[in-house]
Structure 1
Amino acid sequence: MTDSALSEQLASASLAMSGWEVIAVALGIAYLLLAVRESLWCWYAAFGGTAIYLWLFWQVRLPMESALQLFYLAMAVYGWQQWRSGARSDGRTRPISRWPARTHLFAIITVLSASAVSGALLQRYTDAALPYLDSFTTWGSVLTTWMVARKVLENWVYWLVIDSACIYLYLERGLLLTAVLFMVYLIIVVFGFFQWRQHYHAQSA
């Protein structure tokens, strides 16, 4: 794609942006910033933004991403409950944990296998756009959101990979503002990793 064609596509996408997408993006940024601070309010922001994206993704023919939002709604409730029930005496939510290398290997193989299967099914039986990439970002997000709910430190590293893939996916489908949101996410994710790692070492000490 030439620079001129890309500019035309971005300009067209910007005109197509809805007020709902703007609200969803604002809630998405609020969710991640609050998660970095380990605030329970992140799950309220997550629930609101997810409800909007469920509809938006369905409109642009990303069925796996749309279905993912149903999972996010459930995880917003689950994450809130987990963080609240594990609250500590210093005012923070449940403590941060880490996974051993074997668990990470199993998780990655599971995500890639699920992505290959669902991608093949979507390609054969639906008109889904980018079925394999859509599947990868979906299954990867399922795993990583659960890691956030359980406060696993390495969730930030997983998000770095998934969000990078999502940027291309959303640009290709004309969701310009959402793609910009995920570019912002990449910056916050790096900050979040170091912030959580600092807290992890502090609680261990």
Structure 2
Amino acid sequence: MHGRTNLTAIRLMDACEHLLCESEVLEELTARKIAVEAHATPSAIVYHFGSQEALIAAVAERVYRRLNAERLSLLRKAIDRRAPEPADLDEVIAALVGPSIRWSLDPSSSYPVLSHFTSMAKAHREGGPHYRKIIDNVEHHLAFIPPLKRIAPWLDEVDIGWRLNSALGIRSQVTRSRSRTEILTNHSMNLDDPEFVIARMIEVIAPMFRRPI
């Protein structure tokens, strides 16, 4: 972003976020639409962000921070609830996957921003700073390793990291491949109920962190 954040830049980000949430496909979003909603000019996007692509990335990063703040807040509550004993495994898993599931099923959330950003990142396989900054940021995921290590001390951090990444893969499949999930479950699960989906996901993920019999 050019210089320090100012009101015009914030208006551009707010407009871009709103329009991304309203757009079925990324191609519907144009610099002109963003500028009109932000009461700015298309050139303001270039001035403050360098490009429309960089603006979208900045908006996605802002939304992602909100999602991760919710995730870490739930993790902290799970840890505090059982302190000084290890946190409850189901609560920790719910903190990890729950916000994404709830956001993806809430039409008022900004989850479409993240979906559009993921599509944009996939279209640019060569990567780049706009994408790597967000995609490679796993600090919020790393925060789950210590409490999971306390819950499952027989696993080392590599094993926990592997299982954590696998859990995130399960979450991603459910949030991004709904039609596949519906087909594989014979359309018999209520995928519109976030708490039901989270509970079923915990059933699958939790055994990865339990001591083998």
TM more than 0.5: no
| TM-score (normalised: structure 1) | 0.28
Structure showing greater Rg: 2
| TM-score (normalised: structure 2) | 0.28
* Larger proportion of helix: 1
